[in-house]
Structure 1
Amino acid sequence: MTQLDRRTALISGLGAAALPLVAHAAPSDPLSGDALYANVKGYSLLGEHRTGTSGDAAGTGWLMTSLEARGFKAERQGFDYPVFELGACGIALGGQALEAFPYWTPTATPAGGVTAPLSLAGGAGKIALVDLPPGTGAGLDAPPPAQIIAAVDNGSAAVIAVTENPLGELLAMNRNPKAPAWRCPVLLAAGRDLGALKAAAQAGAPVTVRLEGQVRPHQAQNVIGRRVRPGKPVVISTPKSGWRHCAGERGSGIAIWLGLAAALAKRDDLNLIFVCSSGHEFDGYGAHLFTETLAPKPAETRLWVAIGANVAVYDHALRDGTVTRLPGPPKARTIGASAPLTAMTAQAFAGQPGYETPLDLDAHDAPGELATFRKLGYRPLIGLVAASPLHHSAKDLPEVTGPAVLEPVAKALHRTILGALT
């Protein structure tokens, strides 16, 4: 990642004011499906959660107040991060308005947009169309797609990049932190619109792309809760920022994180650190900052548990052209544990597809921020992450999850943690 400026790491122990739209007090059973789902909905209600935005800032206040209600001392770890304040974004093709979203870091069009012939080859005076492979931009620490770089470098007036997805949705794409703005506007489009866009490109038809907004300096915050007791701390981490409302991607993990904060705080002997980091969609920027500055060293950590993306969501499929929720979770779910904990983890998650066969983290690498903690040498280590066809889409709202899919994951993870501490 880019070099972090430690001078921008600001710590404040001040609690945030309570937000009226979410209840902060821990329920009698914090790991019940209803309690967990209430927190998913509360998180989503705060708005879009891109790093440094107002929704991300609202999440900071909500999480701090929620941790304090669970007996933790909460603090912020702030860092400077530029925010592109998005105004209008769209594609107009033959009188039809198509969904669009910027690829970071955006370069704005003039007011009203740019109109030019659409072209598969791109070039001066043309808008380039590129079709990206499925999964592009979903993970961390990946360079920008070569197709986009080539289209920008050949002097295109703008680039439209289609994000392929089984549901035809537009998926926002992660980006390296603080990347320079593209030399021309780069917009993402939905896979469902590929046919119309490709036909227009083959005909050289005119298309208008509109991407209005401006970059302003902002600050984002990691949230850290401490319940200090003698002995090495147990660290429970999850990201708090992401694209759109990210209710399944981030909200399901945050709900379980809050539930675990209340449940583990009932054990008065545990030294606990709960961290919820911003900057995730920019290669885990805030998590890197935390590990470099405020995290206990690996040798000083009793256990690290990393809660990743989409950990408790439903699968979705197209049914008669409509995105439909299926009765169970996606097949692509992974839980990893250090070798001494794999058997116990398998027992705790028995019967839960994907999670019932843990990955040995001592022998295999891991995805997402879990890979960061593994590379730094934190052991023992537990982490879980899952895929979702609505990952990074505008449809990643509270309806992608629910009490019945949240509770089994939360309670199994709680059992796993308690077992790891015996």
Structure 2
Amino acid sequence: MGTGISRRGLIAAGATASGLSVIGGGKGWAGQISADPVDPFHVASLQRDLETYDGFGIHRSGGTANRAVLNWMEAEWSQIGYSTTRQCFTVPSHDDYEARLVLPDGATLALAAQPPFRARHEVEGRLCYATLAGPMGQAADAILVAELPNGRHSALDGPLIAPFLAMAREVEARAIILITNGPSDEAIFLNTDTKRDTPLLALAAPSRAQKLRDAALAGHSARLATPAPAGQRPAENLIAQLERDGPRLVISTPLSGWTHCAGERGPGVAVMRALSRWLPGALPDHSLTLFAASGHELAELGGRLWLDNGAPDPKQTALWVHLGAGFAARDWHEPPRRLLPLNHADPQRYLMASPDILPIVRRAFADEPGLANAYPLTPDTAAGELAHIAAHGYPRVFGAFGAHRLHHVMSDRMNAVSGELVAGPARAFRDAIARILAPAHSGE
């Protein structure tokens, strides 16, 4: 991506010491908070929406929780007065979470199942330990055990993971088990394009990986069992619109992910719901489009499909605001083998904006560490969903994203986020939109 800022490069640069246990939940932090309980940006309202989203379950595309969120969002938006439609597509069913490795002595090691699932889903072979420096032993036709460098991993094509997949292909390994070293010491699920050719995969939690390492270093044989493919199932994007005579504002956020995603997806869902209640009255002359995507964990599949077929005309779009991952998740102290909650948001979060609106966006987020240092959104710096949006020619875009310490792990629950943590960024998104689209009413 040239010499610019890469989303995954920024996230990888936030690598930290690994932990073991997540302690407590702590109290959030959001600066000045409105005391009006009717205000959609009030802490209590944001907290309710976060708890509701988390409570639906594991948000894999096309699954029970994903469908429940779509129904919940659509019911509210219809009540407000938006017209709603859905865009349907198919995705693989990925509701199996467990894999296992059986060693010669009969010991069974619990692993996490990493999609895509393959028809040849059980293999036997010699284990071979590998680092970025290369395999330690005979790797051909083996099951590679890859020791990932410590990091906030997010995707299979990330810079710390892709070399291991290339290594597995080069030596024609039978499978690869990734030890996902990261802050939580848990198995980290990784976003993937299921149409790409990848080896048979499984994930090992660092906290339970020592026996696996020892077996691989000794070159023991083992049998790896991963889930069999479970076929395709329908998934949907949700689009809500309020048509007026004026220019269009688009707000987007993904709904789906590998786990409960409270800290990853919860802030975007809560802020979108708050904005959807505020926007009709705040911008009475603007057309409004709300886009809630499924398929995020599958290489932003739903968002890419809508951009290619159904998204508004860039020439008629005054502003696109994207609410990405983890921009208001909790920060943590990292003493050895555990995480201790802090009362503020993780500053390892990023804000990007089209150059002509960058000063306005920076002022709106000035009190939000990490987001206050907004970067210009250009072809060299655009990343993730923002890259797809910008590539389609939308002239004014801004959005935020991050990868917090519980990103893509099963413990990403309400301990990772709160209404207090989300309230500050929510109000900043609101204020930035008002200053860009209604400067006469915002004081700009």
Q: TM-score, normalised by structure 1?
A: 0.84
Within 1, Cα distance between the matches of 2:101 and 2:182? 19
Moved more, 298-307 or 265-274: 265-274
SS at match of 1:384: strand
Moved more, 156-165 or 401-410: 156-165
Deviation at 1:107, TM superposition (A): 2.3
Where in structure 2 are the equivalents of 1:356-375 lying within 5 Å? 356-362=372-378, 365-375=381-391
Deviation at 1:313, TM superposition (A): 0.7
Within 1, Cα distance between the matches of 2:414 and 2:46? 11
The equivalent of 2:330 in structure 1 is 314
Task: Indicate yes or no: 2:266 matched with 1:261.
Answer: no
Note the alpha carbon deviations across 1:102-154, whole angstroms, 9 max, x for none.
Answer: 232122677xx666543224657743211223458615876972323433564
SS at match of 2:266: helix
Task: Indicate yes or no: 2:49 matched with 1:34.
Answer: no
Contact kept? 1:67, 1:225, Cα under 8 Å: yes
Within 2, Cα distance between the matches of 1:87 and 1:190? 13
Note the alpha carbon deviations across 1:147-195, whole angstroms, 9 max, x for none.
Answer: 234335645443211112133221111112433574xx41011233444
Equivalent position to 1:270, from 270, 286, 291? 286
What percentage of residue pairs aligned between the two structures are identical? 30
The equivalent of 1:70 in structure 2 is 80
Within 2, Cα distance between the matches of 1:146 and 1:157? 16
Moved more, 404-413 or 321-330: 321-330
Equivalent position to 2:183, from 166, 179, 182? 166
Contact kept? 2:54, 2:266, Cα under 8 Å: yes
Moved more, 303-312 or 351-360: 351-360
CA 1:98–1:366: 2 relative to 1, 3 Å: farther
Where in structure 2 are the equivalents of 1:88-237 lying within 5 Å? 88-91=98-101, 98-107=109-118, 116-120=125-129, 121=137, 123=139, 126-135=142-151, 138-139=154-155, 145-151=162-168, 154-179=171-196, 182=199, 185-237=200-252
- The one-letter code of the counterpart of 2:236 is Q
Within 2, Cα distance between the matches of 1:389 and 1:136? 7
Contact kept? 2:155, 2:192, Cα under 8 Å: no
Note the alpha carbon deviations across 1:292-321, whole angstroms, 9 max, x for none.
Answer: 111112111011001110011112343352
Equivalent position to 1:283, from 271, 274, 299? 299
Contact kept? 1:91, 1:210, Cα under 8 Å: yes
Q: TM-score, normalised by structure 2?
A: 0.81
SS at match of 1:171: coil
Within 1, Cα distance between the matches of 2:45 and 2:107? 43
The alignment yields a C-alpha RMSD, in angstroms, of 2.6
- The one-letter code of the counterpart of 1:151 is A
Contact kept? 1:240, 1:277, Cα under 8 Å: yes
CA 1:399–1:282: 2 relative to 1, 3 Å: same
Within 2, Cα distance between the matches of 1:305 and 1:227? 16
Contact kept? 1:118, 1:129, Cα under 8 Å: yes
The equivalent of 1:3 in structure 2 is none
The equivalent of 2:340 in structure 1 is 324
Deviation at 1:416, TM superposition (A): 0.5
CA 1:271–1:131: 2 relative to 1, 3 Å: same
Structure 2: gaps (5+ residues): 1-36, 130-136, 439-444
Matched residue count: 392
Within 2, Cα distance between the matches of 1:158 and 1:72? 48
CA 1:67–1:97: 2 relative to 1, 3 Å: farther
CA 1:288–1:344: 2 relative to 1, 3 Å: same
The equivalent of 2:91 in structure 1 is 81
